[in-house]
Amino acid sequence: MRLKNFSLTYGTQIFKSFSEEPRIRIIHLLYRKKELCISDLEVILDFTQTKTSRHIAYLKNAGLVSSRKKDQWVIYSIKEEVIDFVGQIFEFLNKDSLLEKDLETFDIMESNRELSLSKMQQKAWRS
């Protein structure tokens, strides 16, 4: 279900969520990469676990972010009903250098992860 209209109260919560740079960066990463866990966000943004968790909690309480448990990890994503609204906001921020740097950091982290997995699999084959 996509959100077509929302109340002034809900709109205020959403706009307050975009009032701090760390939350914008988190929302942007979740919007572009679909799902991330706290530890990924910490590394990409160079935040402490406390700071990252505090901002994620704010975004969850504002109704922008949802979570699901996968093994020992909690995976965060943008709620389906607000994805279009968030996308429209990021249409105006699509060339921001800090947001682009966050995405580059994610890509490097992801490629390092894939390289490590590949090396572990090769090692297992040799054994």
Hey, where are the domains in the chain? Answer: 8-126
- CATH number at 8-126: 1.10.10.10
Q: What is the pLDDT of residue 30?
A: 95
- pLDDT, one tens digit per residue, over 102-124 is 888 888 888 877 777 666 666 66
The Cα–Cα gap between 102 and 44 comes to 6
- At 109 the pLDDT is 85
pTM of the model: 0.80
* pLDDT value, residue 93: 79
| pLDDT-derived band at 17, boundaries 50, 70, 90 | confident
Tokens 């297992």 correspond to 124
pLDDT for residue 36 is more than 80: yes
For 69, counting Cβ atoms within 10 Å of its Cβ (0-12 exposed, 13-18 middle, 19+ buried), the class is exposed
